[in-house]
Structure 1
Amino acid sequence: MQGGFEAGLIGGLADWFAVTALFRHPLNIKIPHTALLPKNRERIIQTILHVLENEWLTKESIVNKINNIQIAQLLLDKIETELQSNEMKKQLQKAAIYLASNFDLNPFMPQFEMCAKKLLSNIKTEYMIQKAIDKALENQMDEKLYTMTLKMVESKLSDQNTKDEITKMITNAIDKNSENKIFGIALKSLMSMASGKVAEIIDVTITEFLEDLKRDTSENRKKIIGFIQNEMEKVKNNESVLQQIDTLKQSTINKYDMEPLFETLKNQIQNILLEYVRQENFIDDKLSPIIKKGIVKLKEHPTALLRLDAWIKEEILDIIEQNHQKIGQLVKDNLDKMTNDEITVLLENKIGNDISWIRVNGALCGSLIGLALTGIKLITG
């Protein structure tokens, strides 16, 4: 028994020393060839990185694993599932609001302006004038124009100076056409004697004429309005007028600065878009159905799904190709952040039970060997 216990003690102490020497100096005594992990830290890390990059996580193994996964199908299934969650809806709305708020329309403004000018230039002048005249006649613009003109004439003729001028013009006309004529001389004499009466007659005549033009049943009114209508209809087919209007239109379009207009339009578009995505049911009623419909269509077309899957894998493999070495670098960076004591504690915590059993096993093995050797010694004398 003494031999067994002695050998067990020696075995346990030997294994304790050996295991402890892996991590630190036993009893803090700097015995040669102890604290093996801290001393060989860099070499161990490089070995780990080599094994990680070239044996465990090689590019080929990652590529083979990825090629065996239907990434597109998994991604679409995941999106369909997550669309039902409130958190996903909340995040989608936040993303939509962010995009609407920060979407820059300025790069598109030159194209918008070019398209607008091209669109306006392509509008046929003849068609535009015809529609405008038809609409004007439909809205009785001929009568409105007649009424407006009549008011202007009435306002002008109500002025006494204008009446005097008309009277004077008539008198001069009579004078001019009555020279060397007996009747003219007599008429002239009559006019000079009754100049006041003539003015009164002219005034009454003008007033009666204007009152007649105001009546809806007036023949003169109908003739004038008919004349306006005919003239408006003639413009439709007047090549000279249409050509002049077309030239004016093109000149105005080319010279017109649309930037202020499109600046206002840009702000309006952004506000409309922002208001649209902020609706309470925007995700459920608008965005989710579009996403789901797109997913269903993709799943119904295996070729499209395969192309999507191939594209995703191609992008992933490209990332792996460019960043594979960063896997080892990431591990190294994390290990470099840890001190020797932290690494030692980490390893001991992970394999602590096994280390303890090494020491127990050493003691047991030592005891058995001690018993065997002592028994042999006793037998052989």
Structure 2
Amino acid sequence: MRWIATGLLVAMAGIFAAARALEHRHPAIGFVRAFAEAAMVGGLADWFAVTALFRHPLGLPIPHTAIIPRNKDRIGDTLASFLRENFLTARVVARRMRGLDLAGAAGRWLMRSGAGGEDAGARGGRLGAGASRLAADLLEALDQERLGGMVKGAVATRLHGVEIAPLLGRALDAAIASDRHVPMLDGMIRWTSRMLLHNEHLIRDMVHARAGGLMRWTGLDETLANKIIGGLHKLVDEMAYDPDHPIRRKAEEGLERFARDLQEKPELRERVEAFKAEMLENQAFQDWVEGLWETSRAALLRAARDPERVMAGRLGDALAQFGETLQHDRRLADTINRFARRTAVGAAADYGDGIVRLVSDTVRGWDARTVTTRLENAVGRDLQYIRINGTLVGGLVGVTIHAVVTLF
């Protein structure tokens, strides 16, 4: 565009020279000379104006030229202030965020990217692939021995800081209140029945060993053993089929008392805490925690390296279902949108000054030539149109003035 504008100016100079030499031959040539003369003046004036923005015309230190290089720091400060006042104030961010449905957009994306979604093959496109690569690179870059030790230490610290006895007591209370302890009692009764069945010979041996010689000679020891075994089997069966059996009720009362003691009795709580401390110091438990972390890390790496396979399974189904929930549950969507809006407003309030200071410092750090080159590349094409328009408009003004002088 600079070549076109300069070529047009040179063409006007050539036309002016030719018209001035031939003007005596016909009066109409005077109009051509007037157009070319005024076009040269307009083109030169706009060339000076455009050039003066970025540098000294012809290298001459004319006052009020090279405006942008001389004022680059002020331009950076002004740009930063403009961004701060018009984009990064809490009021402006809140107004812009009020009309955004981020939860709905996230829900649509999850539905498309989840299992069975229309974008299931792409799994989120560049965003999902980039996030997967980043997660895999981070996991592989971290020191696994140190990270595993941090995880193990964090788990141990967390468990040390939690008093387990009251938690167990409340959990047992809640289970009893909702009859979730019944399967546990049933299981204990079934286990007792199996143990009794497999150990009948021990009862027979005990009765035989304690029976007198007369009882063994008459076979009454065997009869007594059968009666005892039969009575025990009958008792266990009655406990299994009768929820109101007295022994079963006693067992439930014992569970309730144990739950209450876990929450209220200091000595029992101390014993539970001592047992917990022993468990945490046990090497087998520490090895289990470490193995748990390694298993989790391997699973995370597999998921990060092959997100399509993971998203095609249960995780993809869960995400798609969550996306559908975001689409239809307005209360949840409003909560997420409100959280996002508050987060954005808070970030603008807390970090807005830092962002605009980054802009200002970046422009200040550029040298004058860099600023000039970047701005000229950004708007230079339109500035060359100014030169072209100046040349043509100047020519039209020149023709108009010549016509007025000639005709009137």
TM over 0.5: yes
Q: CA 1:329/1:223 → structure 2, altered by over 3 Å: closer, same or farther?
A: same
- 1:255-290 deviations in Å (ceiling 9; x for gaps): 542222643553454466567765885433321222
SS in 2 for 1:69: coil
Residues 11, 365 of structure 1: 8 Å contact kept: yes
1:258 to 2:316 alignment: no
- 1:100-155 deviations in Å (ceiling 9; x for gaps): 9869533443348547976999999xx89x969945752443525877999xx9xx
Structure 2 distance, partners of 1:94, 1:223, is 77
CA-CA distance at 1:21 after TM superposition: 1.4
CA-CA distance at 1:65 after TM superposition: 1.9
Amino acid in the other structure paired with 2:378: K
1:303 equivalent in structure 2: 331
Q: CA 1:13/1:271 → structure 2, altered by over 3 Å: closer, same or farther?
A: closer
Trace 1:27-106 onto structure 2 (pairs within 5 A). 27-55=58-86, 58-83=89-114, 84-88=120-124, 104-106=154-156
- 1:337-358 deviations in Å (ceiling 9; x for gaps): 4322222222222333332233
Structure 1 distance, partners of 2:298, 2:316, is 18
Q: Any gaps of 5 or more consecutive residues in structure 1?
A: 154-208, 238-242
Residues 72, 305 of structure 1: 8 Å contact kept: yes
Residues 94, 345 of structure 2: 8 Å contact kept: yes
Residues 63, 317 of structure 1: 8 Å contact kept: yes
Residues 103, 326 of structure 2: 8 Å contact kept: no
- 1:162-211 deviations in Å (ceiling 9; x for gaps): xxxxxxxxxxxxxxxxxxxxxxxxxxxxxxxxxxxxxxxxxxxxxxx9xx
Q: CA 1:299/1:87 → structure 2, altered by over 3 Å: closer, same or farther?
A: closer
SS in 1 for 2:366: coil
Structure 1 distance, partners of 2:79, 2:134, is 43
Q: CA 1:225/1:95 → structure 2, altered by over 3 Å: closer, same or farther?
A: farther
**Which of 383, 388, 393 is the aligned partner of 1:355?**
383
CA-CA distance at 1:369 after TM superposition: 4.7
2:7 equivalent in structure 1: none
CA-CA distance at 1:311 after TM superposition: 2.2
Structure 1 distance, partners of 2:286, 2:376, is 68
TM-score (norm 2): 0.56
CA-CA distance at 1:67 after TM superposition: 0.6
Structure 1 distance, partners of 2:171, 2:94, is 56
Trace 1:6-21 onto structure 2 (pairs within 5 A). 6-21=37-52
Q: CA 1:262/1:145 → structure 2, altered by over 3 Å: closer, same or farther?
A: farther
Q: CA 1:379/1:301 → structure 2, altered by over 3 Å: closer, same or farther?
A: closer
Amino acid in the other structure paired with 2:196: E
TM-score (norm 1): 0.59
Residues 326, 332 of structure 2: 8 Å contact kept: yes
Residues 121, 253 of structure 1: 8 Å contact kept: no
Number of matched pairs = 305
1:109 to 2:159 alignment: yes
Q: CA 1:85/1:92 → structure 2, altered by over 3 Å: closer, same or farther?
A: farther
Trace 1:140-155 onto structure 2 (pairs within 5 A). 140-144=198-202
SS in 1 for 2:100: coil
2:315 equivalent in structure 1: 287
CA-CA distance at 1:224 after TM superposition: 9.2
Higher mean C-alpha displacement, 221-230 vs 43-52: 221-230
Trace 1:167-316 onto structure 2 (pairs within 5 A). 219=219, 222=222, 256=275, 257-259=278-280, 260=282, 262-267=285-290, 269-270=292-293, 273=296, 278=302, 282-316=310-344
Amino acid in the other structure paired with 2:316: S
Q: CA 1:112/1:227 → structure 2, altered by over 3 Å: closer, same or farther?
A: farther
- 1:217-272 deviations in Å (ceiling 9; x for gaps): 99487379679979x99xxx9xxxxx9xx9xxx79867542222643553454466
1:25 to 2:75 alignment: no
Structure 1 distance, partners of 2:49, 2:167, is 86
Q: CA 1:49/1:254 → structure 2, altered by over 3 Å: closer, same or farther?
A: closer
CA-CA distance at 1:20 after TM superposition: 1.0
Structure 2 distance, partners of 1:218, 1:272, is 65
Residues 50, 383 of structure 2: 8 Å contact kept: yes
Structure 1 distance, partners of 2:70, 2:374, is 17
Q: Any gaps of 5 or more consecutive residues in structure 2?
A: 1-18, 21-32, 115-119, 140-146, 234-246, 248-253, 259-267
Report which of the two structures shows the higher radius of gyration computed on alpha carbons.
1
Structure 2 distance, partners of 1:120, 1:357, is 79
Give the root-mean-square deviation of aligned CA atoms. 5.2
1:138 to 2:182 alignment: no
Percentage of identical aligned residues: 20
